[in-house]
Amino acid sequence: MGNLIRIDEAALHDQQHWSLGATDECYYLMEYTARGQGNGLIHNLKMPVDSRSPWELCWKEAAIEEAACLLRPALCALIDFGNTTIVPVPPSKVRTSPLYDDRILRILKKACPLEADIREIIIARSDMPASHENAVRPSAIHIRNNYTLDPAVSSALQETVVIFDDILTAGNHFSACKRFLREHCGPRRYVGVFLARRVFL
């Protein structure tokens, strides 16, 4: 698949990721377009965890494995794991919800070395509609206000903090996480990494 690609000024100029600014450092592995090559992978990753179809759950598990396999060499080429804390974007549901989907964390654990500093620092206060199922996407401020800190794992972050999510659309979740972490953990080099970025042609 290749190396991670940085979101450049051209991508920002077309305003497809309108929550991102010129100072945001973000990377993606593939583009997610209508009828694109990676659509099946993304679709299967987002299969609901409460699906009654054993086939759908098998496809979801296979997609997690495939995503991790694709990301592994790309992450190793970008990240100095000894000086980086990796934070998964929290799912839309709280940990106690039967719909809680930990696919982002699971992808990271499979894609990164065992010694990687992966921490679920940010957790959701209450359930929110999943963005891909909601016609009206919540703003970065609305998302940030639904976040709370897990104090058990939030101390002594590395100087570089990677915020990881599967899909970059507007960039609201990345912006919310970056703002939240800067408020609670102070200035760092905050980097966004995404499996894919949504592109509307």
Tell me: the pLDDT tens digits for 107-116?
A: 999 999 999 9
- Residue 160 is part of which domain span? 5-198
Q: How many CB atoms lie within 10 A of CB 40?
A: 12
How many domains is the chain partitioned into structurally?
A: 1
Name the pTM for this structure. Answer: 0.92
Q: What is the CATH number of the domain that holds 112?
A: 3.40.50
The SS3 assignment for 106 reads: helix
Q: Where are the beta strands (DSSP E) in the chain?
A: 5-6, 25-32, 84-88, 117-118, 122-124, 147-149, 160-168, 189-198
DSSP state at residue 101:
-
Walk along the chain (201 residues) and give the pLDDT tens digit of each residue: 579 999 887 777 666 787 888 899 999 999 887 777 778 899 999 999 998 888 999 999 999 999 999 999 999 999 999 999 999 999 999 999 999 999 999 999 999 999 999 999 999 999 987 765 555 678 999 999 999 999 888 888 999 999 999 999 989 999 999 999 999 999 999 999 999 998 776
